[in-house]
Amino acid sequence: MHPLPAGYVVRAAATSDVEALAVLFNAYGRRVTGTDLITADRLTSMMTTPGFSPERDGRVVLDPEGRTAAAAFVFDVSEPHVRVTSWGIVDAAHQGRRLGAFLYVWILDRARQALDKAPAEARVVLEQNVFDKDHAAAAFLTERGFQPTRHFWRMAIDLEEEIADPAWPIGIRPTPVDVKTELEASVRAVNEAFRDHYGHVEGSLEQQVERTRHQIESDPNYDPDLNFVARDGDAIAGVCFCHSISGTDRDTGYVGALGVLPAWRKRGLGLALLLEAFHRFRAKGKRKAHLHVDAESLTGATRLYRKAGMHVDQLNHEYTLELRPGTDLAAK
């Protein structure tokens, strides 16, 4: 492992680090995107996710004055443990001191622990997302064998412009979701809607429900009006789960999951769900809306979003390192 410079120390992350980590992450965000990335509340939720342990899965590097100079996290909470993700950030004032190389060795070692948990025949990969303007991160990963495997757009719409009314297919209407009694059914519907989307891996429904419940209960900005489904009789035909803020931008709503189940596709339901979300955001006083989408979506999502009036305003890239070859359990 590359040694740390004199005076620097590394230790396990802790939930008490969230304020300092938010400063670190948001300074990085302003450098590469022009905006902050995350709130302290969202970081707390992330670090208390069921299955994630800050002490085991995070590292913080402190400078000689005890300030946070860099941090890294590895996320390996989802069965069957075949797609491991990571973050690594070095503060601008501490770049050029090989802190990133030091943390990368830890990331790789922690990520390889997934090999013992994944099915023996399965391909296991380590993934990291990179913002389009972060050329240094792209070069760092490429030098270590990572390959660019996918591209994702953040799309946006100005809600102060005219928004069309949703046209619902006959017999289908948006209805609320009671998270106390319908959470499992909702998560099951999301899985079915996204089963043919890039990167989807069939996992434990119980774990997914537990993590979704945690996200809802730990989100001080959770708004039940922004989470709804489309029903055809008693059946869930489509889902739309949204957040009342995008990153740290309280003037912008975020569409987290929008999907139509296969039996109801090609009937205009996806567009109706999206337009309904826009109108609900506007009723809450939001000025814009964001969502992220696979730029190569085979389900036509990008065409749908453009039809609704959205445009691309940010690009990021997925980089992948194969930890073990084998049968790929993720959807292509």
Asked if residue 83 lies in contact with residue 201, where contact means CB atoms within 8 angstroms, the answer is yes
Supply the pLDDT for residue 265: 95
9-118: CATH class: alpha beta
Supply the pLDDT for residue 1: 58
As a whole number of angstroms, the distance between CA 8 and CA 97 comes to 10
pLDDT band with cut points at 50, 70 and 90 for residue 50 = very high
pLDDT of 112 > 80? The answer is yes
Q: For residue range 317-331, list pLDDT tens digits in order.
A: 999 999 999 999 998
State the span(s) of the chain assigned CATH 3.40.630.30.
9-118, 155-316
Give the β-pairing of 288-294 and 83-90: unpaired
Q: For residue range 228-285, list pLDDT tens digits in order.
A: 999 999 999 999 999 999 999 999 999 999 999 999 999 999 999 999 999 999 999 9
Least Cα distance to 219 among 256, 175, 171, 190 occurs for: 256
Q: Which long-range contacts (CB under 8 A, 24 or more apart) does 106-110 make?
A: 106/1, 106/10, 106/59, 106/72, 107/72, 107/74, 110/56, 110/57, 110/74, 110/76
Supply the pLDDT for residue 180: 84
As a whole number of angstroms, the distance between CA 36 and CA 173 comes to 36
Q: Residue 129: phi, psi to the nearest 5? A: -95, 145
Asked if residue 299 lies in contact with residue 197, where contact means CB atoms within 8 angstroms, the answer is yes
Supply the pLDDT for residue 324: 98
Please work out, in degrees rounded to the nearest 5, the angle formed at the alpha carbon of residue 67 by the alpha carbons of 62 and 141. Answer: 55
pLDDT of 144 > 90? The answer is yes
Fold observed for domain 155-316: Aminopeptidase (3.40.630)
| pTM for the model | 0.94
Supply the pLDDT for residue 29: 96
Q: What share of the chain is helix, strand, coil (3-state, %, to 5)?
A: 35, 30, 35
Mean pLDDT, residues 62-89 taken together: 97
pLDDT of 299 > 80? The answer is no
Mean pLDDT, residues 168-173 taken together: 97
Lowest average pLDDT, out of 82-96, 159-173, 300-314, goes to: 300-314
By the 10 Å C-beta count (0-12 exposed, 13-18 middle, 19+ buried), 112 is classed as: middle
Q: Please provide the average confidence, as pLDDT, over all residues in the chain.
A: 95
